[in-house]
Amino acid sequence: MFPEKFVERYRKILGDETEKFLEYMSKPLKKSIRVNTLKIDVSECLRRLEERGILLEKIPWTESGFWVRQKEGLIGYTLEHILGYIYVQEAASMIPPIVLAPREDELILDMAAAPGSKTGQMAEMMNNTGLILANDVSVKRIKSLRFNMEKLGVINVAVIMRDGRFLWKKYPGVFDRVLLDAPCSSEGSIRKDWGVLNRWSPRLVKRMSRLQISLLDSAVRCVKHGGEIVYSTCTLAPEENEMVVDTVLRRHRDLRIEKIKIPAVTRPGLIKWEKREFDPSLEDTVRIYPQDNDTQAFFVAKLVRE
Ligand X SMILES: C[S@@+](CC[C@H](N)C(=O)[O-])C[C@H]1O[C@@H](n2cnc3c(N)ncnc32)[C@H](O)[C@@H]1O
Quick one: the chain helix, strand, coil %, rounded to 5?
Answer: 45, 20, 35
Q: Quick check: 106 binds other proteins (CB under 8 A)?
A: yes
Tell me which of ligand X, other proteins, none is bound by residue 137, counting a contact when its beta carbon lies within the kind-specific cut-off of 5 to 8 angstroms: ligand X
Q: Which residues pair with 267 in a beta bridge?
A: 287
- Going through 21-62 in order, the beta strands assigned E by DSSP cover 32-35, 56-58
Q: What is the CA radius of gyration of the chain?
A: 19
Q: Which of residues 1-30 bind ligand X (CB under 6 A)?
A: none
Query: Binding mask 46-85 vs other proteins (x if CB under 8 A, - otherwise)?
Result: ------xx-------------------xx-xxxx-xxxx-
Q: Which residues contact 44 (CB under 8 A, 6 or more apart)?
A: none
Closest approach of ligand X to the CB of residue 248, in Å:
15
Question: Catalytic residue at 184?
Answer: no
**Distance between CA atoms of residues 271 and 68, nearest Å:** 36
Kindly determine how many residues on this chain lie close enough to bind ligand X according to the rule CB under 6 A.
17
> Which of 45, 184, 222, 234 is an active site residue?
234
CB atoms within 10 A of CB 143: 12
**Distance between CA atoms of residues 162 and 11, nearest Å:** 38
Q: Pairing relation of β-strands 157-160 and 86-88?
A: unpaired
| Strands ordered across the beta sheet of 65-68 | 56-58, 65-68, 32-35, 86-88
Of 17-25, 114-122, 149-157, 253-261: span binding other proteins (CB under 8 A): 149-157
* Among positions 116, 188, 269, 290, the unique one binding ligand X when judged by CB under 6 A: 116
Kindly determine how many residues on this chain lie close enough to bind other proteins according to the rule CB under 8 A.
38
**Largest CA-CA distance found in the chain, in angstroms, rounded:** 56
* Among positions 39, 165, 192, 252, the unique one binding other proteins when judged by CB under 8 A: 39
Q: Quick check: 153 binds other proteins (CB under 8 A)?
A: yes
Closest approach of other proteins to the CB of residue 174, in Å:
8
Q: Which of residues 129-188 bind ligand X (CB under 6 A)?
A: 135-138, 141, 163-165, 181, 183
Query: Hey, which residues are catalytic here?
Result: 234
Binding residues vs other proteins (CB under 8 A): 39, 52-53, 73-74, 76-79, 81-84, 105-107, 128-131, 133, 146-147, 149-151, 153-161, 170, 174, 176
